[in-house]
Amino acid sequence: MSPTIVLITGANRGLGEGILKRYLAKPDHIVIAANRNPDHETSKALADLPKGPGSRLIVVKIDATNETDASTAIQELKDQGIDHLDIVIANAAVIFPFVKIEDAKIEDLRTTTETNFVGFFLLYQATLPLLLKSERPTWITIGSGAGSIVLQNFAPIKPQSPPNSPTLFTFNQLPVPNSVYGPIKAAQHWLTKRINAEEEKITAFVMSPGWVQTEGGNESAKLLGLEEAPQPVEPTCDGMVEVFDKATKESHGGKFLTWEGKDESW
DSSP string, 36-81: S-TTSHHHHGGGGS---TT-EEEEEE--TT-TTHHHHHHHHHHHTT
Give me the CATH topology for the region 4-151+178-211+231-258. Rossmann fold (3.40.50)
Q: What mean pLDDT, rounded, does the chain reach?
A: 90
pLDDT of residue 132: 99
pLDDT of residue 46: 98
Count the neighbouring beta carbons within 10 Å of the beta carbon of residue 139.
26
d(CA 153, CA 69): 38
Backbone angles phi, psi at 56, to 5 degrees: -150, 165
Catalytic one of 23, 26, 181, 193: 181
- Kindly state the percentage of the chain with pLDDT values over 70: 90
pLDDT of residue 19: 98
H helices then E strands: how many in the chain? 9, 7
Q: How confident is the model at residue 88 (pLDDT cuts 50, 70, 90)?
A: very high
Backbone angles phi, psi at 87, to 5 degrees: -135, 130
Catalytic one of 23, 26, 185, 249: 185
pLDDT of residue 225: 76
Angle at 42 between CA 41 and CA 47, to 5 degrees: 90
Backbone angles phi, psi at 203, to 5 degrees: -90, 110
Average of per-residue pLDDT across 42-48: 97
Asked about 23 being catalytic, the answer comes back as no
Question: What pTM was computed for the model?
Answer: 0.91
Q: How many CA atoms lie within 13 A of 20 on its CB side?
A: 30
pLDDT per position as a tens digit, 124-176: 999 999 999 999 999 999 999 889 988 765 544 444 444 444 444 545 667 77
Q: Is the pLDDT of residue 35 over 90?
A: yes
